[in-house]
């Protein structure tokens, strides 16, 4: 008895659609080298695609960490393929018949059985093996082609597949498109363009007239429109809040995790945004997730209600959006990782700059006591303050808020600090000092569309006065002994960087013994409570009066004021930077 010579191939693929597709193409190329005819190669490729796709589709999170194994054995008489997966498995039916047209399952098994001579399914806990076997036609050099036999086989195949020809063609077309896009994704930088081409293919294959693709916003609170086909009237489709499950069918699908159909019997709600952009007779909305997290929704519509979507087309919609969800998440993760690295470095640089701007210690200015603090809502903010000793024991106080965050804000804060410190001859004239600083900074600020609000105060210990001027900043607050209320003083001119020749009015105020004054940024007056109500300047004046009445030292007063602000906000994290300079006159 002659011993049959067999060759074999073993492939281990990651449990992902692109990877298993690549593996099936490798098997096809290997079988082509064994001189299998083109018809057999096509049959094996289609059967393997169905088998390995199921191995990926029904894998849970744990199974996706394990490979899908393909073992191929080719002999002179037959070809055998074994696919090993790690899904929960299923019970192979006694009879594999052609399913109904509207059935959403069973076509894959029928296709596999039709394309092979023998199928067996070995189910084991944690591992399953599907064995496919098909006879190998004799080589052309050994026998003449049996035309009659080939015609009979072709007739049998055509009879078995007549009812599903259109759907198989559509499904195969969709698989080809998905695998083509998968191979492009690594070099594709425009996710919107990629999604648009894929959505157009989906509409064509599913015979849809219009489609809407929405993605969850970065904060996870609403659905935002990415694509609206065939037109681009995106402005007609505003975002919808995910908190309102009845706002639209899209939010309903996201909450229920089920497809929602709409048509003549179940029309869109009168307030549903889709009514304005999707005048359809029939539609379906599908929400898609990755790792149990909502990614977005896809909605298809047809103008005519007498042609319902088939089960195969619904499956195509699911396959498309599941594939697209993975690509969207991967693209976002890549963008986030890149942005995070850049942001971390930028924030570190800005934080270093900001720390260098703040005074290392508070200069003495007897009989006044000074206490100051700068609290950033983020790692880096736009607030800063400075305390500069002047002649004859006086002190120049500077508080500012640069528009924006990060390195640009920190750099302009540093430039403003250097500019003010370079003009000591104007320290006792805050109005003139602000005007000079504005003329110096205007070209650079206007070029980048930025501005700075600032307040400068000259504290004169000999005359016991404070002379102040404001460039679009919060007013100076003063509490005088013997009064119950604090007062806001001074006029506010344009912020620095708005007009090059702005003049600033300065105000002189006497600070007798026990008086208190406060320079601050808007992060204090705009503190919000749990109900979203802003503190306001009026209430901040009241807090300053309480601070002056209940504390004597500047340090204690600063702490008392910060506690009142924290109590008002419910000790919630800061929503904006908070910077203040508190002055107390003590004998």
Question: What distance in Å separates the CA atoms of residue 363 and residue 366, rounded to the nearest whole number?
Answer: 10
Q: Are residues 418 and 311 in the same domain?
A: no
Cα-based distances in Å from 128 to 14, 51, 223, 514 = 16, 12, 40, 85
Identify the pLDDT of residue 534.
92
In the predicted structure, residue 315 carries a pLDDT above the cut 80: yes
Beta pairing partners, 13: 68
185: three-class secondary structure by DSSP: helix
Instruction: Tell me the average pLDDT across 172-192.
Output: 60
Identify the pLDDT of residue 379.
57
Question: What distance in Å separates the CA atoms of residue 505 and residue 321, rounded to the nearest whole number?
Answer: 62
pLDDT tens per residue across span 145-179 = 456 655 665 666 565 455 455 555 555 555 666 56
Beta pairing partners, 477: 488, 518
Identify the pLDDT of residue 479.
95
Q: How confident is the model at residue 507 (pLDDT cuts 50, 70, 90)?
A: very high
Strands (E) in 245-376, as ranges, are 260-262, 282-290, 293-302, 368-375
Question: What distance in Å separates the CA atoms of residue 44 and residue 458, rounded to the nearest whole number?
Answer: 87
Q: Are residues 159 and 72 in the same domain?
A: yes
Question: What distance in Å separates the CA atoms of residue 55 and residue 39, rounded to the nearest whole number?
Answer: 25
Q: How many CB atoms lie within 10 A of CB 53?
A: 17
Identify the pLDDT of residue 231.
73
In the predicted structure, residue 557 carries a pLDDT above the cut 90: yes
In the predicted structure, residue 393 carries a pLDDT above the cut 80: yes
Higher per-residue pLDDT: 43 or 476: 476
Instruction: Show Cβ contacts of residue 140 under 8 Å, excluding neighbours closer than 6 positions.
Output: none
- Residue 534 has what DSSP assignment? B
349 part of a folded domain: no
Beta pairing partners, 85: 128
16 is written with which tokens?
A: 């992902």
Instruction: Show Cβ contacts of residue 240 under 8 Å, excluding neighbours closer than 6 positions.
Output: 214, 222, 223, 247, 248, 250, 251, 273
435 is written with which tokens?
A: 């005007």
Q: How confident is the model at residue 498 (pLDDT cuts 50, 70, 90)?
A: very high
Identify the pLDDT of residue 145.
45
Identify the pLDDT of residue 355.
72
Instruction: Tell me the average pLDDT across 516-525.
Output: 93
461 is written with which tokens?
A: 């210990």
Q: What share of the chain is helix, strand, coil (3-state, %, to 5)?
A: 40, 25, 35
Higher per-residue pLDDT: 53 or 138: 53
Identify the pLDDT of residue 383.
84
What is the domain count for the chain?
3
Higher per-residue pLDDT: 586 or 387: 387
Q: Output the domain CATH number for residue 84.
A: 3.30.565.10
Question: What distance in Å separates the CA atoms of residue 316 and residue 488, rounded to the nearest whole number?
Answer: 67
368 part of a folded domain: yes
Q: Output the domain CATH number for residue 364.
A: 3.60.40.10
Q: Are residues 405 and 539 in the same domain?
A: yes
Identify the pLDDT of residue 177.
61
Q: Are residues 290 and 233 in the same domain?
A: yes
Question: What distance in Å separates the CA atoms of residue 165 and residue 307, rounded to the nearest whole number?
Answer: 18
For the chain, the first-to-last Cα distance in angstroms comes to: 119
Q: What is the CA radius of gyration of the chain?
A: 37
Beta pairing partners, 489: 476
Q: Are residues 244 and 323 in the same domain?
A: yes
Q: Are residues 236 and 318 in the same domain?
A: yes
Identify the pLDDT of residue 437.
96
Average pLDDT, the chain: 84
Instruction: Tell me the average pLDDT across 471-481.
Output: 95
Helices 38-57/165-185 angle, 10° precision: 70
pLDDT tens per residue across span 262-291 = 988 888 888 888 888 877 778 999 999 887
In the predicted structure, residue 546 carries a pLDDT above the cut 90: yes
456 part of a folded domain: yes
339 part of a folded domain: no
Q: How confident is the model at residue 581 (pLDDT cuts 50, 70, 90)?
A: very high
Q: What angle do CA 514, 518, 521 make, to 5 degrees?
A: 170
381 part of a folded domain: yes
Q: Are residues 155 and 76 in the same domain?
A: yes
Q: What is the share, in percent, of the chain residues with pLDDT greater than 90? A: 43
Identify the pLDDT of residue 141.
43
Q: How many CB atoms lie within 10 A of CB 524?
A: 25
Q: Are residues 116 and 192 in the same domain?
A: no
Identify the pLDDT of residue 318.
85
Instruction: Tell me the average pLDDT across 193-210.
Output: 85
pLDDT tens per residue across span 318-345 = 877 877 777 777 777 777 777 667 666 7
Instruction: Tell me the average pLDDT across 95-104.
Output: 66
89 is written with which tokens?
A: 């498995």
Q: Output the domain CATH number for residue 303.
A: 3.30.450.40
Instruction: Tell me the average pLDDT across 506-522.
Output: 95
In the predicted structure, residue 303 carries a pLDDT above the cut 60: yes
Identify the pLDDT of residue 544.
95
347 part of a folded domain: no
Q: Which of 166, 201, 218 is the last residue of a domain?
A: 166
Q: How confident is the model at residue 347 (pLDDT cuts 50, 70, 90)?
A: low
Identify the pLDDT of residue 43.
86
Strands (E) in 28-110, as ranges, are 68-74, 78-85
Nearest in space to 194 (alpha carbons), one of 9, 379, 328: 328
CA dihedral 571, 573, 576, 582 (to 10 degrees): 40
Q: Are residues 387 and 469 in the same domain?
A: yes
Q: How many CB atoms lie within 10 A of CB 379?
A: 15
Identify the pLDDT of residue 456.
96
Higher per-residue pLDDT: 353 or 233: 353
Burial code (b: 16+ CB inside 10 Å, e: under 16) for 473-508 equals bbbbbbbbeeeeebeebbebbbbbbbeeebebebbe
CA dihedral 436, 439, 444, 447 (to 10 degrees): 150
Containing domain of residue 498, as a range? 358-585
327 part of a folded domain: yes
Instruction: Show Cβ contacts of residue 548 under 8 Å, excluding neighbours closer than 6 positions.
Output: 479, 486, 514, 515, 516, 557, 584
Question: What distance in Å separates the CA atoms of residue 114 and residue 108, rounded to the nearest whole number?
Answer: 10
Alpha helices in 492-553 (DSSP H): 522-525, 536-550
Q: Are residues 25 and 104 in the same domain?
A: yes
Q: How confident is the model at residue 367 (pLDDT cuts 50, 70, 90)?
A: very high
pLDDT tens per residue across span 404-460 = 766 777 778 888 999 999 999 999 999 999 999 999 999 999 998 899 999 999 999
pLDDT tens per residue across span 139-149 = 544 434 456 65
Q: Are residues 113 and 245 in the same domain?
A: no
Nearest in space to 580 (alpha carbons), one of 519, 495, 532: 519
Q: Are residues 289 and 144 in the same domain?
A: no
- Residue 377 has what DSSP assignment? S
In the predicted structure, residue 181 carries a pLDDT above the cut 60: no
413 part of a folded domain: yes
């Amino acid at each position: 008895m002659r011993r049959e010579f067999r060759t074999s191939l073993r492939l281990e693929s990651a449990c992902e659609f692109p990877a298993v597709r690549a593996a099936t193409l490798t098997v096809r190329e290997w079988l082509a080298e064994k001189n299998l005819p083109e018809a057999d190669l096509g049959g094996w490729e289609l059967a393997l695609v169905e088998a390995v796709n199921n191995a990926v589709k029904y894998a849970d999170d744990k199974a996706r960490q394990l490979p899908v194994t393909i073992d191929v054995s080719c002999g002179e008489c037959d070809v055998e393929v074994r696919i090993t997966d790690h899904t929960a498995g299923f019970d192979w039916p006694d009879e594999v018949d052609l399913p109904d047209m509207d059935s959403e399952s069973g076509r894959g098994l029928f296709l596999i059985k039709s394309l092979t001579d023998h199928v067996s399914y070995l189910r084991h806990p944690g591992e399953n093996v599907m064995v496919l076997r098909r006879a190998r036609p004799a080589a052309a050099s050994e026998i003449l082609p049996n035309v009659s036999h080939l015609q009979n086989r072709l007739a049998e195949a055509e009879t078995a597949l007549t009812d599903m020809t259109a759907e198989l063609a559509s499904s195969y077309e969709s698989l080809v498109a998905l695998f083509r896009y998968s191979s492009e994704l690594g070099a594709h930088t425009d996710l919107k363009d990629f999604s648009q081409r894929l959505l157009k293919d989906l509409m064509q294959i599913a015979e849809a007239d219009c489609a809407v693709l929405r993605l969850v916003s970065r904060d996870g609170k609403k659905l935002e429109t990415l694509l609206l086909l065939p037109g681009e009237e995106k402005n007609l489709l505003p975002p919808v809040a995910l908190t309102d499950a009845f706002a639209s069918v899209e939010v309903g699908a996201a909450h229920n995790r089920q497809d929602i159909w709409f048509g003549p019997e179940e029309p869109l709600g009168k307030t549903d945004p889709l009514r304005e952009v999707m005048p359809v007779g029939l539609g379906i909305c599908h929400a898609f997730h990755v790792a149990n997290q909502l990614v977005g929704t896809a909605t298809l519509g047809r103008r005519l209600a007498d042609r319902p979507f088939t089960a195969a087309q619904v499956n195509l919609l699911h396959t498309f959006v599941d594939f697209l969800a993975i690509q969207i998440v991967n693209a976002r993760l890549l963008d986030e990782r890149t942005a995070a690295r850049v942001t971390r470095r930028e924030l570190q640089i800005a934080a270093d700059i900001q720390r260098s701007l703040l005074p290392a210690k508070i200069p003495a200015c007897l009989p006044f006591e000074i206490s100051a603090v700068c609290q950033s809502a983020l790692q880096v903010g736009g607030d800063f303050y400075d305390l500069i000793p002047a002649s004859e024991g006086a002190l120049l106080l500077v508080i500012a808020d640069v528009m924006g965050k990060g390195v640009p804000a920190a750099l302009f804060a540093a430039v403003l600090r250097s500019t003010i410190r370079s003009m000591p001859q104007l320290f006792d004239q805050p109005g003139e000092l602000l005007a000079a600083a504005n003329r110096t900074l205007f070209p650079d600020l206007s070029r980048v569309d930025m501005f700075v609000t600032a307040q400068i105060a000259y504290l004169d210990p000999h005359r016991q006065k404070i002379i102040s001027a404001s460039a679009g900043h919060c007013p100076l607050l003063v509490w005088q002994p013997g009064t119950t209320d604090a007062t806001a003083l001074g006029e506010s001119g344009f912020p620095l960087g708005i007009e090059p020749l702005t003049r600033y009015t300065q105000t002189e105020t006497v600070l007798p013994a026990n008086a208190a004054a406060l320079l601050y940024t808007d992060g204090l007056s705009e503190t919000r409570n749990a109900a979203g109500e802003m503190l306001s300047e009026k209430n901040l004046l009241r807090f300053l009066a309480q601070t002056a009445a209940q504390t004597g030292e500047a340090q204690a007063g600063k702490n008392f004021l910060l506690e009142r602000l924290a109590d008002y906000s419910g000790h919630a994290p800061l929503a904006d930077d908070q910077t203040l300079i508190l002055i107390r006159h003590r004998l």
